[in-house]
Structures are given as structure tokens and as C-alpha cells.
Structure 1
Amino acid sequence: MPLRLSSLSNFPKPLYLWNLMIRDSTNDGLFTETLKIYSSMARYGVHGNSFTYPLVLKACAKIASIRDGSLLHGRVLRVGFGGDVFVQTALIDMYSKCFQIVSARHVFDEMSVRSVVSWNAMISAYCRGPWMDEAMILLKEMWVLGFDPSSSTFVSILSGYSNLTTSKNHLFQGLSVHCCLIKLGLQFCETSLANSLMSMYIHFSLIDEACQVFDMVDDKSLISWTTIIGGYVKVERATEAFRIFNQMQRQSTGIDSVVFLNLTSGCIQLGDLHLASSIHSLILKSGCDEQESIENMLVTMYAKCGDLTSARRVFDMVTEKSILLWTSMIGGYKGSGHPVEALDLFRRLLRTDIKPNEITLATILSACADLGALSMGQEIEEYILLHMLEFDLRIQTSLIHMYSKCGSIKKAREVFESVVDKDLALWASMINSYAIHGMGKEAIGLFHRMLSSEDLMPDAIVYTSILLACSHSGLVEDGLKYFKSMKKDFGIDPTVEHYTCLVDLLGRVGQLDLALDTIQGMPLKAQAQAWAPFLNACRIHGSIELGELAATKLSELGTGSSGNYVLMANLYTSLGKWKEAHNTRKLITSEGMVKECGWSQVEISGRFHMFSAGDQSYLQLVNIYRTLEELNCTLLEASYTTEAVTVNSDL
């Protein structure tokens, strides 16, 4: 039975009993109690030894208490244990875990005798932060002085590279470490080292190299399986992640929540509802379903797989809902094209004691943008100001997007200009706002202002907005110039979105031959997306021959949709080819496609009214038609030469 402070409070205690209590509380993870026991021991005037102080310093490190650690360091020096190698090593570890790297190095430099563990402690300290160069220098120095690095040394270094940015230089250094492991024969001496090596490769998205390491490990641990499964999910190869998981099950290896988090992420990538249900069943059997992180992922998984009913069922079954769970469900509705339900759930959230966080507010603002719900967006902005959340850049970016999509470009600009320290996402949001409003020159001007006034490099998203702005404003020469400079000046490879914008730009101004040449010079994956805007351009400019070519290509690439057939039929109709138009529309039915009816939506006094083509059920329909007739008469009486409003009985 472990000893506790209360069990020996009525008589003096020798040092070994204090040490037993300190050891037991530390081993049990009761680090605050360890400090209390040591404090009582000090009050009795009992000095610790080389067994006591490392344990108490470990407790300080675990709770990151630099105050207690510094006081203990002073005590150690006063009682004469400042030169003990075990105590000094524990001090290095304590200071590093309290982010006092200078103090840790000071202790290390004062050591007259060092062990491999001491070197490892200091190297590990550097590896916890952005000091990998210092860690490598120390590793070389250790080697020169005759200390052989252990597997723990390399575990720390590989973990350090796994936390750094994915630059080519860092990758080269990580590969060099792997070469050292092979040379020293340490590559597979411990499973933990192999796991760290896999994590390093996965960090740099080199999943095949990580898999080679995995295959060579004989004694695979749960962490080994989890690491490689997570790696496949990270590089969006979820099918192979499930293949590895099946192997893991055949090995009768235990499953933990980390595995399930990776698998639910894999289901989200694949969008496979049947697979998602199977994973949910395994989670229920394992008893992990009540963990908060699992609950959140289950809601997101079902929403991404198109089953909002199951997502809501999971949400409703949770008694104590966290803000993360609320946000997951709201985001599920928003991401699945149900912004009204997202707003309803947000209103319900506001009636609880739980406060929405920055991610919740950014998500619901995006839902307002999808709905064009300006009044609701303004109410949310008032809530943001009331709770002093207006300085969060994610919220500001979402506000700009919301005001822009709701038609208030002036208000979007006001929000943008009010932000002092703008990040790239904020600039991109405002540039995109100008783009969708057809304000090409303003978008380009803001782009150059960003380049000249901020230490920011544009990314692929910014260039998509710039090309979109040029397309909507007919700025052909500017669009071609920015498309070329994207790669030349900033090393950004064109994506499908960039190619599509370029084709749309050329098509809008009637340069169909140049647009066709552009498509034919694209990668095949990009072509599949670019033929649709090209077909639309052919419809606008009445080019049947090129339109038929685009329709054929779309069919060959397997991207035929009812919308594309409608575009082709409209092209025939515009040129009086009624028979061809009729035959094209018949293909929609014969190939089992469904044409979605057109619809529109308007917000009036906080309520949303939806109208769809052919729907005669709306209560105010008679009044709407009467108002349209009155508008037509007014326009005709005013002698407007523009075409009057057309009353469509199929509205």
C-alpha cells in the first residue's frame, strides 16, 4: 500500500520514509502532492538526497512550475547537491520543460561530470523548440568527446524534426540522421526509435518511406500501427489506411481513441457512409464513444458522408455538450448546404449557458453568407463586439466574406480597414470580395497594396481570387499576366481552379480558340474541370462546333452532368436548332440524370422565403405576379428602352 503524508503525520519520519512517499506520489502522477510532501519534509528540517531531488524536480517539470523548480534549485545548491550528476540532469529537464532553455544550458555547462543521460537531456531540451541546429552541434560534440549516442538521443532529434516546418533543409537533416542510425546499427534496436523515424517521414509527407520502416519493425506497438495509419490519412490515402487497420486487427493489437480519430478522418476523406457506420460500431464496442474528441469527429464524419440524421442523432445523445460539439454540428449543417438549420441550432446554442467561441462564430457567419442573411449577420457582429471578440482574425475574415456575399461591399471594406495586423487570409478575403462584385481593378489594386505594404507572400488562394476578378471584369491582358507571374515570380504551380479561371476569362470575351488551346495544354485532371466553363462560353457566343466538342470531352472524361446537357440544349435553342435541343434534353432522362430545378431565396424581416421553378404553392404568389405586372407597366410608361420585367408563369 503506498505511503501518504497523512499516514505518518504523528511521529518524526526518517529520510527513507519521505523518499518512499515522494516516489509513490510521483509514480502515481500526483505531482502537486509530491511538492506538498517535500514542503512538509523541508519544514521538519529534513534534507533530501540524490534520490529525493530528481523526483521533486520531475514533479516541477510535469506541472511546468518554474517557481517551485527555481526555489528547489536554490535549496539544492545550499545543501551541497549542486554538483550531483543525477540532480543536475533533472534540473536540465525541469528547466527545458518550463521553457527556460538558457537556464538549462547554464546548468549543463557547469557540469564537471556528464553522463549520456545528461547529454540526452540537453539535446532533448533543444529539440522541444526551434533550436535543432544547436541540438545537432551538441550531438557532434558528444560524439567527439567519446559518448555514444543512444536510441533516446535519436528519438529526441527525430521528434524535433517532426515539429519543424517542412523545408528541404530540414528534410535533408532528417535523412542524415536516418543514415547515422543505419551506420550505428540502431535503426530497429527499439520500437520507439522506429516510431519516431516513421513520424519524421510522415511529417514530410513521405508515406512510402515511412511504410518501409514500418514493414521492417518486427515488434510493432500500438503506436507503430497508429502512426502509419495516421500517415496514410494525412496524405489522403485513406483506402490504404483501412488496409493497414485490417492487418492490425488480425494481429489482435488493442485499439485506442487515436486510431479511431484517424479512421473517422479517413471516412471523411472517402465519404463512404457504409464504412463510417462500421467504424461507429467498432467505437461503440470499444467504449470510446463517450470521449469528447470522438463525439466531435463522429458528428463531422456523418455530416461529410451526407447523413445529417445520424450526425444529429449522435449530437442529441450527448448529455453534456461542449462548444466543440455544438460547433461540429453547426458546421455539419453549413457544410452540407443546410444553412437555415445551422442558424436554428446556433440560436438554440445562445439559449444555453455555453458561449460560442471564435470557430463557432466564424462558421455561423459563413452560413449567413450562404443564405444572404444580412440582418442575422449584423446581429452576430453585435454579439462579437459585445463579447470583445472583434480582434480575432478568423472572425474578421468571416465578417468580410459575409458582408460581401450579402451585397454590402462597403461594410466589408470597413471591416477590412479596421484590422491593424492583417494576415494573408484577410487580404485574400477582401480581394475575393472585390472579385465576386466585378470590381477587378480594385482587386488588383489591393493585391499590389498587399505586396508593397506587408511582409506577405501571395499563395494559390490569392491568385485564384485575382484571376476570378480579371475574369468577371473582362481584364484579359491582366489575367494572362498574373497567370504567368504566379509561377515565375512566386513559384506557385497552377491548380485546377487557376486553369478554370483562365478558361472562363478567355471564354467570357469570346477568345474561344485561345481558350481551347489553353485547355488542350492543361494536365488531364484540370481539363476535366475546364471543359464546363468552355461549354458555357460556347453557348454565350453561339459556337455549336466547339460546344459539341466540349460536350463530347465532358462525356469522355466522365464529368457529364444534367447542367452540361442543359447548356448544350440552350446553345441549340439559341440558334433555332429545336430538334437537336429536344434530343439533347432527352439524354438527361435516358442516362438517369436528374435536373435540379432553379430556386432563389430572399430574407424579409428575419424570415427566409424560398422560391423554386414550377412551385405554385407559395401563399403570396398572386401578389408577387401583380407587383411584377405593375412594374412592367411603370417601365413601359416611362418609355424605358430596356426589356421590361418578364413574368414567367413557371416561376
Structure 2
Amino acid sequence: MAHSGVHGNNLTYPLLLKACANLPSIQHGTMLHGHVLKLGFQADTFVQTALVDMYSKCSHVASARQVFDEMPQRSVVSWNAMVSAYSRRSSMDQALSLLKEMWVLGFEPTASTFVSILSGYSNLDSFEFHLLGKSIHCCLIKLGIVYLEVSLANSLMGMYVQFCLMDEARKVFDLMDEKSIISWTTMIGGYVKIGHAVEAYGLFYQMQHQSVGIDFVVFLNLISGCIQVRDLLLASSVHSLVLKCGCNEKDPVENLLITMYAKCGNLTSARRIFDLIIEKSMLSWTSMIAGYVHLGHPGEALDLFRRMIRTDIRPNGATLATVVSACADLGSLSIGQEIEEYIFLNGLESDQQVQTSLIHMYSKCGSIVKAREVFERVTDKDLTVWTSMINSYAIHGMGNEAISLFHKMTTAEGIMPDAIVYTSVFLACSHSGLVEEGLKYFKSMQKDFGITPTVEHCTCLIDLLGRVGQLDLALNAIQGMPPDVQAQVWGPLLSACRIHGNVELGELATVRLLDSSPGSSGSYVLMANLYTSLGKWKEAHMMRNSMDGKGLVKESGWSQVEVTDTYHTFAVGNQSQVA
């Protein structure tokens, strides 16, 4: 058109600029801007608004603002385009300032204005912004436009879902006269996000009764819910619906189905789905390998990885981190070193997820020196890397080294600790008998960082006190814990009673354990061993008879050793077995 000598008009250039925005192509956009200036469209509100929108969607907000400021006349659409530009990059202070300015100048905001602002809040992670979002909700109620457009109500729900305020989101949802597929998907996804899978499925059943069309995004949310609850029957039902609606061949759905069945303990179904995928993506391979690792089949995971690297698919950091975890579970230092060589050959040695897995693998395989070498190679250590190394020292009984590294992390590096790293610190104190340090960190965790003790923290504390014979102090600590936590920590106390020969306290711990977990054989065995260690054969016999009478069986422990690249497993009373 341009070469033929025909010039565009004020309808042509907005269409072209919209094309540039959709690509997005700033090069073509600036070229068209030159044409607009040359042809004298500077005063055309329609064309200038299209320029603002184009620069905004091409991530050139400063240029969008310059065009906006130079416009001799602006429409509500022009203001909306600029508000949208700031909201898209989550510059909410500028967006709100512009909203107030347009209001003062007599331009009444529309539903589109607030959709942009609410979308901007939905992209923010900080919970502090939810109060500003609520103020926008109040403004919408005052203007009477909350339910004027479905997209506006959806954006309002999306903001509340982002901040996990599902009660507020549900109120908006329930008051909507008209609901779109996005309305239902937003609510279902929100319930899954906060771990309320039951509510998500209840809403899905309502959705089916409303004859709303179902897309694959709904199934992504439902499958994620199955992964949370790990209910195989529910997983099978969802899979049936996926097949019925023909969404089973979409790559994200296939990968999640593999993960879903693996998390529900059904590797057979997971592998069947994997094998039926004709063109397997890297995510498909990773999902299946992760499924094997999750259910304790590291050998199968490694076999599948070897098969994968013989294809054209190249693993990413997540795949290799999962494979390294399989080596850790297998306890094979030689294979772990082979995988590390492969990692270097493929240039993924700087991937922090891979580095963290390597630290864990070398630690589990008994090479704390190699674990430390990997740790020292990490240039920009995050909390996960520090935690992995601290935990490595902890499980090797190197409590002082673990505490020294924790101190360096929090003071010299200024990294804020979380509940997980404190679990490793308590484990280090427990394995090394560092009672005073353990008690100090237990108090500091709550006082200095506001971290509420978890079951893992409490278990480590009781184990720490029990190992050094502070049984009365351990009992007092347990009695001050919530009932649901107490049920989990009597076990470490019973183990300590056996070590220190305290029958009276051991009997109390056994009673409490059996009250909370009557089907556990471990409590009977520990108490029987305590009686045996003190020569109380009659009581030990009665305890074992009681266990037999309830039909409880203790699972045999087993060990594994690598000999010339072959794995042998050993169980009590059994001959060696090649794995």
C-alpha cells in the first residue's frame, strides 16, 4: 500500500499499531510512529491512543507516557490505555495517580479502567497490597459497576485469589448474575491454590450442572487438586472426564496426569500414559522420572534417564536435579559422579537447583568433602543452597560445622532463615548433643524471626533432650505443646527411655503413642526392647504377644551396598539379593 503511493488514514494506522502491539514489535511500531508524524496525525485522538497502547504492550512505558502527555485532546480510552500501561508493569502508584487525575478532570472511569488496575494488583505477591485492592472494590460498589461487565467481576475475583482471600472471592462469585468459564476457573484454581481441593471439586460439580463449557485449564486445576489430596479414586474420575472431553492429548494435561498418578502411588497408570505419548516433551520425561524417584524406584528413574538422553530431547536443570536425587536415594557415588560429568558437559553446572541436588547427593553417598566442594563452587548462594549444606553437616554428625555455617549465612551474608533451615540446625544439635545451642536456637527462631515451631522442630527438640538424658525436661516440653504435635513427639521420647532405661516414663510414652496411633507396631517393639534391656523378660514377652494379638507386623529393615557397579540388598534373615 505504501509503495503504491496510497497513504493510510486515521483508521489504517490504529490497526497497524495494534498489529505491532500483538507481535510485539517495537521496531515496526516506531517506524509507523514516524509515518504518523509525517502525515500530521498528532492531533488525532484515535491514532495517538493507539500509539500509547502500542508502546505500552511493547514494554516502552516512558514512550507511551510521552505520547500521552503530548496529546492535545484525550478520550476515556486514552486514559485507560495509559492506566493499563502502568498496571501491566505493576507500577500501581502511577496507575492510581492517573486514575485520580482523570477523575478530577471529569473523565469518569469505566469498567475497563478498573480491570487494568485489578489485573495489576493480581500480578503482585505482597499481601500488603490487598488493602488497596479492597479500597478499589469499595469504589466499584459506590459507582455501582461491580457486575456491569463479567470481566470486571472476574478481575476482582482474580485479585482476591492472588492474595488467597477465598471468602471475599466467593462473595463476588456468588453475587454474579452471569458467570463465564473464566469465573469458574478462577474460583476452582483459587481453592486448589490454598489446598482446599474438596471445595474446588464441589464447585466443579456445580459448574457441570450449569452446562458451562469446560476447557483444559479447568482440568489442570482439578488434576492439581488430585495431586494435593492423593486420592486414587478421585484421580481416576478426573482422568475419565479428561478423556471424555478430549483434553488428554494436550501436553500440560498429559504431564500433570503422569504426576497425579505417581503422587497417588499408581506408577502403572502413570507409565501407561507416558508410553502412549507419541512425541514426548522434556516435561513428559521429567514427570515420569520424578514419579519413579517419588515412589522409591531410583533404579527405574535412572534407566529412564539413560533412555531419554538417547533421544533428541536434552534435559534441563529440573530433570537433572531429579536424576541426581535418584542417585542419592540409590546411594551410588559412582553413578552420581557420572551424572555430574554429564552436567558439566552440557553446561548446567551453574544451575542452582542442580547444585543443591548435588550437595544432597554427595552427602547421602557419604562424601561430605565433595558436597562442600560443590557448595563452594556456587557463586550466588540462595537460602536453599545454604540449607542443603547445613543439612549435610547435620546428618554427618558435624554439629559445630553446621552451626558455624548457619551463623555465617545469617550474619555475614544477611540471608533470612526459614522453618526448613531451622529443622536442619536442630537436627545438627541433636546428632551432636549440643543441648544449649539447640535450646538457644529454638527460642531465637520464635523471638527473632517469628517462626512458629513445626512438628519437625518439636521432634528434633525432644530427640535432642532425650539423647543427653534430659528426660524430665523433655516431658515438660511435650506437655507444653499442642495436642496434635504431642501425638508426633512421644516416639522420640520412648526411644530415649530405651537408651537411658527409664521404664516408668517409657510406659507413659507408650500409652500416649498407642492412643494416637493404635496400629503402629513400632511403639510395641520399642517398649519390648526397653523391657528386654533391663532384663524384664516377662513384660517384654507380654508386649510382643499384645502386638501379635493385634495382627501387627514390624517391617524388616534392609541395607544396600554397591559392589562393582552391582547393588546388593540385605534384610534380616535373608540372603543377599541383586537389585
So what's the TM-score if we normalise by structure 2? 0.97
Distance 1:155 1:308 in 2: 44
The alpha-carbon distance between structure 1 residues 513 and 254, as it changes in their structure 2 partners (threshold 3 A), is same
Q: Which residue of 2 aligns with 1:106?
A: 66
* Alpha-carbon shift at residue 619 of structure 1 (Å): 8.2
The alpha-carbon distance between structure 1 residues 319 and 514, as it changes in their structure 2 partners (threshold 3 A), is same
Q: Describe how 1:250-329 pairs up with structure 2 within 5 A.
A: 250-329=209-288
Q: Which residue of 1 aligns with 2:371?
A: 412
Is the 1:166–1:203 Cα contact (8 Å) retained in structure 2?
A: no
Q: Describe how 1:57-76 pairs up with structure 2 within 5 A.
A: 57-76=17-36
Give the match's secondary structure for 1:610.
Answer: strand
* Alpha-carbon shift at residue 599 of structure 1 (Å): 0.5
Distance 1:209 1:289 in 2: 33
Distance 2:39 2:578 in 1: 89
Q: Which residue of 2 aligns with 1:389?
A: 348
* Alpha-carbon shift at residue 435 of structure 1 (Å): 0.9
- Tell which deviates more after alignment, 284-293 or 559-568: 559-568
- Tell which deviates more after alignment, 275-284 or 66-75: 66-75
Q: Describe how 1:89-168 pairs up with structure 2 within 5 A.
A: 89-168=49-128
Give the match's secondary structure for 2:2.
Answer: helix
Q: Which string of whole-angstrom CA distances, capped at 9 and with x for unpartnered residues, describes residues 316-369 of structure 1?
A: 011100010000000001011111111111111121111111100001111111
Give the match's secondary structure for 2:37.
Answer: helix
Q: Which of the numbers 132, 150, 153 marks the counterpart of 1:173?
A: 132
Q: Describe how 1:224-623 pairs up with structure 2 within 5 A.
A: 224-558=183-517, 560-616=519-575, 618=577
The alpha-carbon distance between structure 1 residues 227 and 503, as it changes in their structure 2 partners (threshold 3 A), is same
- Tell which deviates more after alignment, 568-577 or 471-480: 568-577
* Alpha-carbon shift at residue 584 of structure 1 (Å): 2.5
So what's the TM-score if we normalise by structure 1? 0.87
Give the match's secondary structure for 1:43.
Answer: coil
Task: Give the total of aligned pairs.
Answer: 579
Distance 1:258 1:590 in 2: 51
Does 2:7 correspond to 1:47? Answer: yes
Is the 2:336–2:361 Cα contact (8 Å) retained in structure 1?
A: yes
Distance 2:198 2:341 in 1: 45
Is the 1:528–1:559 Cα contact (8 Å) retained in structure 2?
A: no
The alpha-carbon distance between structure 1 residues 489 and 199, as it changes in their structure 2 partners (threshold 3 A), is same
Q: Describe how 1:194-233 pairs up with structure 2 within 5 A.
A: 194-233=153-192
Amino acid at match of 2:417: P
The alpha-carbon distance between structure 1 residues 101 and 432, as it changes in their structure 2 partners (threshold 3 A), is same
Is the 2:14–2:46 Cα contact (8 Å) retained in structure 1?
A: yes
- Tell which deviates more after alignment, 154-163 or 448-457: 448-457
Q: Which string of whole-angstrom CA distances, capped at 9 and with x for unpartnered residues, describes residues 391-439 of structure 1?
A: 1111111111111111111111111111111111111111111111111
Amino acid at match of 2:554: K
* Alpha-carbon shift at residue 283 of structure 1 (Å): 0.4
The alpha-carbon distance between structure 1 residues 586 and 123, as it changes in their structure 2 partners (threshold 3 A), is farther
Is the 2:568–2:576 Cα contact (8 Å) retained in structure 1?
A: no
- Tell which deviates more after alignment, 248-257 or 486-495: 486-495
Which of the two has higher C-alpha Rg? Answer: 1
The alpha-carbon distance between structure 1 residues 129 and 454, as it changes in their structure 2 partners (threshold 3 A), is farther
Distance 1:246 1:299 in 2: 24
Q: Which residue of 1 aligns with 2:144?
A: 185
Distance 2:245 2:218 in 1: 12
The alpha-carbon distance between structure 1 residues 274 and 477, as it changes in their structure 2 partners (threshold 3 A), is same
Distance 1:50 1:534 in 2: 81
* Alpha-carbon shift at residue 564 of structure 1 (Å): 2.5
The alpha-carbon distance between structure 1 residues 88 and 371, as it changes in their structure 2 partners (threshold 3 A), is same
The alpha-carbon distance between structure 1 residues 314 and 618, as it changes in their structure 2 partners (threshold 3 A), is closer
The alpha-carbon distance between structure 1 residues 318 and 105, as it changes in their structure 2 partners (threshold 3 A), is same
Amino acid at match of 1:303: A
Distance 2:321 2:231 in 1: 28
Q: Which string of whole-angstrom CA distances, capped at 9 and with x for unpartnered residues, describes residues 486-528 of structure 1?
A: 1211222222211111111111111111111112212223222
Distance 1:339 1:487 in 2: 38
Tell me, which stretches of 5 or more residues in structure 2 are unaligned?
Answer: none
Amino acid at match of 2:452: D
Q: Which string of whole-angstrom CA distances, capped at 9 and with x for unpartnered residues, describes residues 81-121 of structure 1?
A: 13321222222221122111111111111112111111111
Amino acid at match of 1:437: H
Distance 1:328 1:543 in 2: 48
Distance 1:422 1:122 in 2: 39
The alpha-carbon distance between structure 1 residues 336 and 538, as it changes in their structure 2 partners (threshold 3 A), is same
Distance 1:297 1:87 in 2: 45
Q: Describe how 1:33-44 pairs up with structure 2 within 5 A.
A: 41-44=1-4
Amino acid at match of 2:257: L
Amino acid at match of 2:16: V
Distance 2:436 2:556 in 1: 37
Amino acid at match of 1:209: E
* Alpha-carbon shift at residue 455 of structure 1 (Å): 4.0
* Alpha-carbon shift at residue 251 of structure 1 (Å): 0.9
Is the 2:462–2:474 Cα contact (8 Å) retained in structure 1?
A: yes
Amino acid at match of 1:179: C
The alpha-carbon distance between structure 1 residues 153 and 558, as it changes in their structure 2 partners (threshold 3 A), is farther
The alpha-carbon distance between structure 1 residues 488 and 266, as it changes in their structure 2 partners (threshold 3 A), is same
Give the match's secondary structure for 1:447.
Answer: helix
* Alpha-carbon shift at residue 592 of structure 1 (Å): 4.3
Distance 2:154 2:478 in 1: 45
Give the match's secondary structure for 1:608.
Answer: strand
The alpha-carbon distance between structure 1 residues 569 and 204, as it changes in their structure 2 partners (threshold 3 A), is same
Amino acid at match of 2:453: P
Aligned CA RMSD, in angstroms, stands at 1.6
Distance 2:25 2:563 in 1: 57
Distance 2:89 2:571 in 1: 57
